A and B are shown apart, each in its own frame.
Chain A
Amino acid sequence: MTRMEKPAAFSRRSVLKAGGALVVSVGTPLALDTLIGHQAAFAQGAKPPLMPDQLSSYVAVKQDGTVAAYFGKMDMGHGITVAIGQIVAEELDVPFNKVNVDLGDTATSVNQGGASGSTGIQDGGKQMRVAAAEARRVLVEMAATKLGLPADQLTVTDGVVHAQGDASKKASYAELIGGQYFNVQLDWNKKFGNPLYAPGKAKPKDFKDHKIVGQRIKREDVAPKVFCQEDFCTDVKVPGMLHGRMIRPAIAGAVPVKVDESSIKDIPGAKVVWQEGFLGVAAPREWDAIQAMQKLKVEWSKTEPPFPSQASLYDHIRTASVRKREVGKENGNVDDAFKNAAKVIEAEYEWPFQSHASMGPACALVEIKDGKVTCWSGTQKSHFVQEGIASILAMPVDKVHVKWTTGPGSYGRNDADDAAMDAAVMAKALGAPVRMQYMRNQGTGWDPKGPASIHIARAAIDAAGTVVAYEFTSKGFSRVDVNTNGSKPFDTLAGQTRGVALQSGDGFGVPAESYQFPNKRLAWETIPPLLDRASPLRSSHLRDPVGPQIHFASESFMDEVAAALNLDPIEFRLRHIKDPRDIALIKAAAEKSGWQTRPSPRRDQTGSKVAGRGIAYAQRNGTRVAVVAEVEVDRASGKIWARKFTVAHDCGQIINPDGLEKCIEGNIIQGISRTLWEEVKFDAKTVTSVDWMTYPILDITETPESIEFVLLNHPELPPTGAGEPSTRPVAAAIANAIFDATGVRIRRVPFSPANVKAAFA
């Protein structure tokens, strides 16, 4: 007999009133009091508080027997809704289509970290799995009581608990708890966000029993998108809503010193909100708000242009003072090994600032009504936006409700959280709901940027031609100059422009791989931001934060060492890679791509158009990816066509291969785009990449001919992330393929035709 899980919540009266599910079977060995107590412990009519230690915070069974899964993360387009539905349906033994996953709503879900670090399945799914398993256990216990049978003689089929071997002795989930709430306490680790974990007593299923997990199930949100039935956050409207637009300075760091409101007096209903450096306009009609933004006369403070020239960016990074250095991995005595080396190979790589450049600039709607705030936002982290709005409006967190609503693309800490805070400030100042939408030049020009960096790699070779030491150091802007979410005013433009001092954090990373060398040191160094206040070059997380930068350099360098030793790039790697899953992965990629063992470069091609192949591999939080790129290079024009990719991918247990393939495809394409085209341009005053002409991305005419997969499934292992890892090795695979084709090593991203031609010169 299970003890009562939460005696304090028990009241016999409430249970008897709640009523319907309480049945006493003749012959039951249980006393009535125990029975009532048991029912009360597991189910109640009122929802327990929305806390991580409550089962009801993750799972509910509705009156019609459908299951609601409340997920504190969201789906940015990778289809995690389906994967979570599969996990919950699997553990609960209900059909997949009976589960509805409710995403990222602060009123129904706890803070599981939002979309973050490819942890949707790895962390979020892990929690939903144990919650659903616990729900099943509890429902079986309830059925045992109701049916007068021991729980271990019961099983569940499609949401109906029944006796093994006698399906007539049954109780459906709907009968047991439908419309009520679980009143079951979980063993919460007291953490919020990605590390939140709160298992119950149930053990999740053995992978051998999985029927729904592992299936190719399609997304249900595609049809509503193509038939225009889904509201994006840009589409939500409320009565009395004003359209808001922000005004940013032409010289970063300047603040308004004089604002002439009479300059927009002819625009119907146009209003100005000016609070220190914060300057926005609003109007009942959207076109009027845009006109007001363009026509408002503003005098700005005299501010020295704060930025170095674009051409000197990497010299700036090289010479800037190091704010923090961290050695991520070290073994042996690296310094001695280099002193005694017969030969040292050294190379330096450069990666520019890059923009999220989401498909649309950010948009958020904030309504303040009856002492409560409602925000519709496409943020990746609604619970953090809830905290941020509460902070910026000086209101209790529980008075702020953030409803995550599909946004115009998101690949990390883009401009979404800034828009939500700007909307909140405007809504409060104007006493009306404000729909804040940025303009394109603000979306690209003023989003937090992926950090620019340099990477220095060197290898010590002994007289026998063996690598005896390897050192890799990254130096760049921090990936948390502003944090990965908008929960603190100092991390948002609304806070920074209204006088909150910057609290720039330090974070970078080291290569994630399993190369073994007797002496090895991987380190990173961060430098201060270029501006100590609201900056269009503030840096933060962009898909696979600093992963593409680091592994472009580290995996290009492995190829450089292989070439210096006249070894095939895969042969060289396999001499030093020790992790068996990594080895299997690289071999799988090689086999699938038809890799021919030989050193690079090819040296057998003449004429302008040449072809080559390259490999790169990386780990990421348990996941590992190997990518073989096959490219065509036009030496005359400098134009690269990344023609074919073969991706070997191992993320442990695969929940949904269909979703995984689509996710990888997007990552490869975005990875090619960032490698070939993407670079945030700036001058001394501000960012000058402000649209798709000045921040080009991969065009459809440049799409690869094919992307092929080898999905290495390990159902016996926990699932790890897939949202970002395959972005990581793309740049190096392309660089290595260009080297194979041409013998020219390109060490600076992007590989635009101009840059490639310059490298050939």
Chain B
Amino acid sequence: MTTQTFKLNVNGTTHTVDADPDMPLLYALRNDIGLNNPHFGCGLAQCGACTVHLDGQPIRSCITPVSTVGDGKVVTLAGLGTPDKPHPLQTAYVEEQVPQCGYCINGWIMTAAALLATKKKPTEAEIKQALEGLKCRCGTHMGILRAVKRAATMMG
């Protein structure tokens, strides 16, 4: 197995990672860069727990080979906002008390953040459509939709 060196721009910082080119970005983020927030849910792009932004678009890091990231800008949930400077979705998630176990939140917040970045005041149907296919096993669907609507209102 041959490893290669990759320079990854994650949350505004460049990291050097030696890895098998086929290794999914998820493992580079979690184990080489120390960002635990994207989670392994399925490894099949079926659930969204590993979602990050690549140049503003939500991608499933569990199936994205590290070699395909190039010099694209990767943003994880930790890079989306902080307690001092939260993204409206993070604020809304706390206000609405959305998660139960919370393992799925990367998928919902990162996907909704990409929606709200381009779509002001989406309808409920548009929100549902944008989030289709993401999984929450605890069943926090109602809270997720409330939080996304609240964040959309906050963002005007």
Contact = CB atoms under 8 A, between A and B. Distances in A.
A226 B135 contact: no
A659 to B, nearest CB: 8
Contact of A235 (B36, B47, B142): B36
A413 to B, nearest CB: 15
B97 interface: yes
A502 B81 CA distance: 50
A698 B141 contact: yes
A359 B137 contact: yes
Given A222-B94, A227-B90, A78 B100 contact: yes
A666 B144 CA distance: 11
Nearest to B31: A286
A357 B132 contact: no
A711 to B, nearest CB: 16
A287 B19 contact: yes
Contacts of A102: none
B46 A692 contact: yes
A408 B138 CA distance: 10
A223 B37 contact: no
A529 interface: no
A672 to B, nearest CB: 8
Contacts of B135: 359, 692, 697
Interface stretch (A39-47, A299-307, A470-478, A701-709): A701-709
A662 B143 contact: yes
Interface stretch (B53-61, B67-75, B103-111, B114-122): B103-111
Nearest to B3: A268
Contacts of A698: 139, 141
B100 A226 contact: no
A692 B47 contact: yes
B39 A360 contact: yes
A123 to B, nearest CB: 21
Nearest to B81: A227
A223 B105 CA distance: 12
Contacts, number: 169
A114 interface: no
Interface string A456-467: 000000000000
Contacts of A285: 27, 31
Interface residues of A, number: 60
Contacts of A440: 41-44, 46
Contacts of B104: 359
B153 interface: no
Interface residues of B, number: 57
Contacts of B101: 76-77, 359, 406-410
Given A77-B102, A669-B142, A699 B94 contact: no
A665 B47 contact: no
Given A218-B97, A285-B31, A359-B104, A691 B46 contact: yes
Contacts of B103: 232, 359-360, 407-409
Contacts of A667: 139
B83 A227 contact: yes
B9 interface: no
B33 interface: no
A691 B42 contact: yes
B97 A669 contact: no
A77 B43 CA distance: 24
A249 to B, nearest CB: 20
A205 to B, nearest CB: 27
Contacts of B41: 359-360, 408, 440
Contacts of B105: 225-226
A288 to B, nearest CB: 8
A225 B102 contact: yes
A286 B39 CA distance: 13
Nearest to A227: B83
Nearest to A285: B31
B138 A359 contact: yes
A64 interface: no
A40 to B, nearest CB: 45
A691 B43 CA distance: 10
A669 B140 contact: yes
B77 A228 contact: yes
A359 B49 contact: yes
A234 interface: yes
B10 interface: no
Nearest to A706: B142
B129 interface: yes
B83 A670 contact: no
Contact of B20 (A78, A287, A691, A699): A287
Contacts of B131: 700-701
A348 interface: no
B152 interface: no
Contact of A662 (B90, B97, B109, B136): B97
Contacts of A218: 97
Contacts of A669: 139-142
B145 interface: yes
Nearest to A645: B142
A579 interface: no
B14 interface: no
11 contacts: A77-B102, A226-B94, A234-B39, A268-B1, A359-B47, A359-B101, A406-B101, A407-B101, A662-B100, A666-B138, A703-B141
Given A222-B98, A234-B40, A692-B47, 16 more contacts: A222-B94, A226-B93, A226-B94, A230-B102, A232-B36, A267-B1, A359-B41, A359-B47, A359-B136, A668-B139, A669-B141, A673-B139, A692-B135, A699-B133, A703-B141, A703-B145
Closest 7 CB pairs of A and B: A77-B100, A669-B139, A225-B102, A228-B37, A235-B36, A670-B139, A228-B78
